[in-house]
Copies of this chain bind each other. A is one copy, B any other.
Amino acid sequence: MSEVTQTDTEVEQSLFEAPPMGEQERMVEAILFATAEPVTVRELNDRMLHGADAAEALVHLRKRYEGRGVNVVKVGDAWAIRTAPDLGFLMQKETVETRKLSRAAIETLAIIAYHQPVTRAEIEEIRGVSVSRGTVDQLLEMEWIRFGRRRMTPGRPVTFVVTQDFLDHFGLESARDLPGLKELRAAGLLENRPPPGTLPQMGEGDVDAEEETEEGQSELFED
List residues of A whose CB falls within 8 A of some B CB.
Answer: 25-31, 33-35, 47-48, 67-70, 81, 83-84, 87, 90-91, 93-94
Contact = CB atoms under 8 A, between A and B. Distances in A.
A48 B27 CA distance: 30
A70 B33 contact: yes
A27 B87 contact: yes
Given A26-B87, A87-B27, A34 B68 contact: no
A94 B29 contact: no
A31 B68 contact: no
Contacts of A28: 69
A69 B67 CA distance: 18
Given A90-B47, A93-B47, A83 B30 contact: yes
Contacts of A94: 34-35
Contacts of A47: 90, 93
Contact of A90 (B25, B48, B90, B91): B48
A186 B93 CA distance: 48
B35 A83 contact: no
Contact of A83 (B34, B48, B70, B91): B34
Given A47-B93, A90-B48, A68 B26 contact: yes
Contact of A33 (B27, B31, B69): B69
